Structure 1
Amino acid sequence: MSVQTPPRLLDLAGQSLLRDQALAVAALEHLPAELFPPLFMQAFFGRHRETLTAMVHAWPFACLPLGGLMQMPQRGTLQATFDGLDILLAQKVRPRRWKLQVLDLRNTNQCFWSMWSGARTQVHPRTRPAAARGSGMRQPAAPLEVLVDLCLSSRIRDRFFPDLIRWAKQREGLLHLCCQTLKIFEVPIKAIKALALVRLDCIQEVEVNCPWSLSALGVFAPYLGQMSNVRRLSLSHIHMPASEAEEWELRISQFTSQFLWLPHLRKLYLESPAFLTGRLDQMLRCLQTCLETLSITNCVLTELDLMHLSLCPNLGQLKDLDLSGVCLTGFNPEPLRALLEDVAATLQHLDLVYCGIRDSHVKAIVPVLSRCRQLRALSLSGNLLSLAALEELLRHTAGLRSLSHELYPPPLESYSAQGVLEPGRLAQVRDALTGILRDLGQPRTIWLSTSPCPRCGQKVFYDVEPILFSCNNPA
C-alpha cells in the first residue's frame, strides 16, 4: 500500500482561496510576495482566467517567467496574461505596487517555479521584489519587455505567435518585443514585416529555411543588418528565378553587405546557396569577425571560390568546417590544403561528405590533417577513395588523440566493375583495415558508410558494423 504525500497547508489554502474568485482578487492587495508564485501556479493549471489577469496586474516581481510553465502557451492562458498586462499598459504612470518589467515567454526559468512548488519559500535573488518606494512616488511607465523565442511559420497550427504579434502591434510603443532566437520557416516575404515590431539588436540566433527568391532575400537583408548582436546565422534554399536575372547582382550585394554590420557573428550555415557561386568573395570581404563555424553545403562552388576561402583572414580560427555536397573533383587540391593549413591549430570537426574527393586530394591534405591536434570528428563518406588512400589517412591521423568519430566510404575495392557494392569484397576490405589498425597499435573505431552508393546514388541496404581495434596497452 503506497503512502501519498499529504498536500501542504499552503496548497490547501490556495485551493480554498481560488474557489471564491472575488475573494481571491481582493486578497491580492495584501498577499505577501512569497505566496504569489504558488498561487499563480494553481490558478494557471486550474485555468482561473480572471484570477490570472488580476495576478499579472499585481505581480510583485520584476519578471514573470510565464514560458517556464508550459511547452507552448495555451491561447486562453495567454489571453488572460495579455488582459492583465493591458491594465498596466493603459496607465501613463506606474502605481506604487507595479513591479513587473519583463514578461518572459521563453521555455526557460523552470527553476523559479520549481523553487515555489516545494517546501522552500525564500525569494530567488534574481526575482526578488523591487524595493518599496515612498508612498507618494509614481514614475512614468517604461516600456514592458516581452522575451520570446520567435518562430514565423505557416506550418505551426498553434496561434501563439500570430496572436503575440497582433497584440504587440496594437500596443506599439508600450512594449519592447525581444527575442534571442528567430526562426523563419515557409512564410511569404510579406510576413517579415512583423520584424519591425521586434528589437532586432536583441537577436543572437537566426535560422531562415524558406524557398525564397533572391528578391525576397533582398527584402529580408535590411532586417538582418540591424541584428547587430547575432552570433549564429543559418540560411537555406534561396533560389534564383530566371525572371529576376537582371536583379541578381543587386540582390546579392544587398545580402552580402549586411555582414558589415554583424560584428559578433561566429557561426555561419549556408545550405544550397546557389547565388554565391562565383561570388563567394563578396561575402567573405564583408565578414567582420573570425568565424568558429563555417558550413557551405550542397551547392556548386568554383575553384576561385575555394581559393578565396583559403585566403580569407576571418577563417583562420575555425573549429567546424563543413563543405558537404560541394564537388571538388576537378579542382586543384592546393586551395583545400591551404585552407586546412590555416585552421590546423583550431579545427575540431571536418565534414567533406560527397565532395567528389579522390586519392589526389587525400595525398595533398593528409600531411596537414596530421597537424590538426584538436580534431575530434572527420567525415569523408560518399567519396571515391582507394584502400591505399584510406590507409594513408589512417596512418597520418593515428597521432590525433582527440579524434573519436571517423566516417569513411567503402574503398573502391569493395565494388564490382559495374559499381555494385559486394559483401564479399567489403569483408576483405574490412579485414585489411582491421589489420592496418592493429599495426598502428592504438585503440580506434572507424565507420564505413555505404548508403547511398557514391557511384550510382542508389540505396544500398547493407548493415555495416564499426571497425574496432582495442588493445590493453595502447601506444
Structure 2
Amino acid sequence: MWPQIFQQVHVQDSFQSRFTRMSKRSPPRLLELAGRGLLREEALAVAALEELPTELFPPLFMAAFAGRRSRALTAMVRAWPFPCLPLGALMKKQETRRETLQAALDGLDGLLAQKVRPRRWKLRMLDLREDAHQDFWALWSGARPRARVLSLSEPGAAQPVPKRRKVDHSGMGAKQPGAPLEVLIDLCFKEAALDEFLTNLMEWVGQRKGSLHLCCRKLKIFAMPIQNLKKLLKMVQLHCIQEVDVSCTWKLPVLGCFAPHLGQMVNLHRLLLSHIRVPSRSSPAEEERHVAQFSSQILSLCHLQELYLNSVFFLKGRLDQVLGCLRSPLETLSITHCPLQESDLTHLSLCPNTSHLKRLDLSGVILLSMSPEPLKVLLEKVSVTLQNLDLEECGLTDSQLSVILPALGRCSRLKTFSFCGNSISMPALENLLRHTARLGRLHLGLYPAPLESYQELHGALHLGRLAELHARLKAMLRELGQSRTIWLSDHLCPQCGNRAFYVPEPIQCPCYTRA
C-alpha cells in the first residue's frame, strides 16, 4: 500500500517539484512527500502501517502530530517499531497535550487488550518527559546527520531495533505479552489539585495497574495536601525515582507521614528538603518520634549522592541522627539557613560519609559563637575532592578565618568559593586572597567588602574608599602572579535578597536600578 501512497504523492506534487527545481530551491524529500500523503490519505496510511519501513515511522508520526491526526497517531502507537516512544519531547505546547496524550493512550489500550503480541510489537515505554530524547525526532526526520550517534542512557531507549536474520519458527504463535508497559513522566505538584493533563493520566493509570507501570525519575512537590500526595504516590513505582525536591512549608509531622514513601525510593540520588517547621505545641517526645521516622528511612537510600537541607528546623542537636543513617558517601552536602550547634558541626567533620565531598554549602548557618576547629577538620578531610565551597552569611570573623585558612589553602581542586556576607577586615581579606591565590583551579571567588570600606555612622559603603582598597588588592595579586577578577560584595538587599558586586565598577541589585 505504501507504494500506492508514494505514487499518488508523486503525481500530485509533480508540478510543485518542477516549480521548485526551476526556482533553484531544493525539492521536497521523499519523507516530506510521504508526510503530505499521510495527511491526505489517512485511512490508507493507517491500513498500511504493518508494511511501513521502520525509518518512516518517526517523520510520519511527526506529520500526524503536527496535523492533529488522532486516528493515525493511535494506530502508529500500536505499531511503533522502537522500544521507546519519546512523546513528551513533542508535547511542549499546552494546547496539544490533552488530545495527543489521549491518542497515545488509546493506542496503548489497543495493545494491552490483545492477548498475543503483534509481529512488530517492540514498544516497552511511553516517555512523557519534555526534556528527554531531544535529538530523536531531529535525527530520524533527517534534520540532523544520521551519522551522529544518539546517546540515550535510559532503559528501552528510542533507538532503532537492529535487523535480525529471519529464522523459521514453524509451529510457534505470536509473541506473548511480557513485562508491563512503562509510562515515564517527571511529576511536579504545584497546586492542591492536579491539572487536567495529570488528572486524565492518573485516572487512566489507576484503571490499568496490573498491565502497566507509572515510572517517575524526578519528583517535585511545591504544594499538595499530604493525603492527596500519598494516594498519588501509591500509583507510582517508587523505586524508579532518582530525584526528590520537597519545597513546601511542611511541618515535622507531615514529613513523618511522607517518610515511609521516601524509604521505598531505594534508587534515590538527590534529595532536597526545604522549610520543614517544628510545631510550637509539639512535645519533645513527639518531635523525637517524627525525626526518628524520617531518619530511619534514610537507611534505605543506598545510592544517595546529593543531600540539600534548607531551613530545616529540627536539625539543631540532631545532625548526627540524620547523617549517621547515610549508607553511602555524599558528593554534595548543602545545609543552608538551618540552626545548628557546635556538636552538629563536630559530627559533620567526623562523619565518614562526608569524606569525599565535591560540593559543600553552609551558607546561612551562623558559626559566630562556634569554634572554627570542626570546620578546619572538615576542610582538611575533603581537601583532595572539594570543588565548590559556599560559606556565605556564616558570621565568620577574622580570628575564625585565620584558623581555617591553612586547610582552605590545601583544597587543590577548588573551583568556586563564596565568602560573601562575613564581617572581616582588610588585613584578613588580604590574607584570604594570598591563600586562595595558590589554588590553580579556582576561577571564581566572591568576597565581602572589608569593614574599612563602610561608613561608620550609616553602615553604607563608601565607594571611593572601596575603590582604593580594591586597587590595593589587585596590586597584591599581581605581585603574586595572579590576574583574577576580584568580586567584592555588599550586604544582601532587604527587598529582593540580591547583592551588589563591585569589580570595581558597581553591579547593583534590581531594586537599586529601578530607583
TM-superposition CA deviations, 1:360-387 (whole Å, max 9, x none): 1111011111111111111000110000
SS in 1 for 2:446: strand
- The 1:158–1:327 alpha-carbon spacing in structure 2 relative to 1, beyond 3 Å, is same
- Opposite residue 438 of structure 2, the aligned amino acid is G
Q: Tell me whether 1:208 sits opposite 2:246 in the alignment.
A: yes
Q: Tell me whether 1:331 sits opposite 2:370 in the alignment.
A: yes
Mapped to 2, the partners of 1:39 and 1:86 lie a distance apart of: 21
SS in 2 for 1:276: coil
Q: Which residue in 1 is equivalent to 2:280?
A: 242
SS in 1 for 2:261: helix
TM-superposition CA deviations, 1:378-409 (whole Å, max 9, x none): 10001100001101111122211001111011
Mapped to 2, the partners of 1:460 and 1:196 lie a distance apart of: 40
The TM-score normalised by the length of structure 2 is: 0.84
Aligned positions of 1:22-421 closer than 5 A: 22-71=43-92, 74-106=97-129, 107-118=131-142, 126-128=159-161, 134=169, 136-154=173-191, 159-193=196-230, 194-245=232-283, 247-418=286-457, 419-421=459-461
Mapped to 2, the partners of 1:255 and 1:171 lie a distance apart of: 32
Q: Which residue in 2 is equivalent to 1:470?
A: none
The alpha-carbon deviation at position 326 of structure 1 amounts to 0.4
TM-superposition CA deviations, 1:46-72 (whole Å, max 9, x none): 100111111111212222121232336
- The 1:96–1:2 alpha-carbon spacing in structure 2 relative to 1, beyond 3 Å, is closer
Q: How many residues align?
A: 465
Q: Which residue in 2 is equivalent to 1:436?
A: 476
Q: Tell me if structure 2 keeps the 8 A contact 1:203–1:230.
A: yes
Q: Which residue in 1 is equivalent to 2:33?
A: 12
Mapped to 2, the partners of 1:445 and 1:121 lie a distance apart of: 44
Mapped to 2, the partners of 1:335 and 1:141 lie a distance apart of: 55
TM-superposition CA deviations, 1:154-191 (whole Å, max 9, x none): 18996333332222112111111122222112122123
Q: Which residue in 1 is equivalent to 2:464?
A: 424
Structure 1 range deviating more: 122-131 or 99-108: 122-131
Mapped to 1, the partners of 2:193 and 2:248 lie a distance apart of: 14
Structure 1 range deviating more: 290-299 or 174-183: 174-183
- The 1:399–1:284 alpha-carbon spacing in structure 2 relative to 1, beyond 3 Å, is same
RMSD: 2.6
SS in 2 for 1:94: coil
Q: Tell me if structure 1 keeps the 8 A contact 2:253–2:290.
A: yes
Mapped to 1, the partners of 2:384 and 2:471 lie a distance apart of: 34
Q: Tell me if structure 2 keeps the 8 A contact 1:263–1:288.
A: yes
- Opposite residue 52 of structure 1, the aligned amino acid is L
Structure 1 range deviating more: 250-259 or 127-136: 127-136
User: Unpaired segments of 5 or more residues in structure 2?
Assistant: 1-21, 151-157, 506-515
Q: Which residue in 2 is equivalent to 1:473?
A: none
- The 1:461–1:78 alpha-carbon spacing in structure 2 relative to 1, beyond 3 Å, is closer
Mapped to 2, the partners of 1:172 and 1:427 lie a distance apart of: 67
- The 1:126–1:20 alpha-carbon spacing in structure 2 relative to 1, beyond 3 Å, is closer
Mapped to 2, the partners of 1:417 and 1:181 lie a distance apart of: 50
Mapped to 2, the partners of 1:3 and 1:333 lie a distance apart of: 74
- Opposite residue 53 of structure 1, the aligned amino acid is T
SS in 2 for 1:257: helix
SS in 1 for 2:338: coil
Mapped to 2, the partners of 1:462 and 1:321 lie a distance apart of: 24
Mapped to 2, the partners of 1:49 and 1:212 lie a distance apart of: 42
Determine what percentage of the aligned residue pairs are the same residue: 57
Q: Tell me if structure 1 keeps the 8 A contact 2:368–2:396.
A: yes
SS in 1 for 2:257: helix
User: Unpaired segments of 5 or more residues in structure 1?
Assistant: 468-475
Mapped to 2, the partners of 1:461 and 1:269 lie a distance apart of: 23
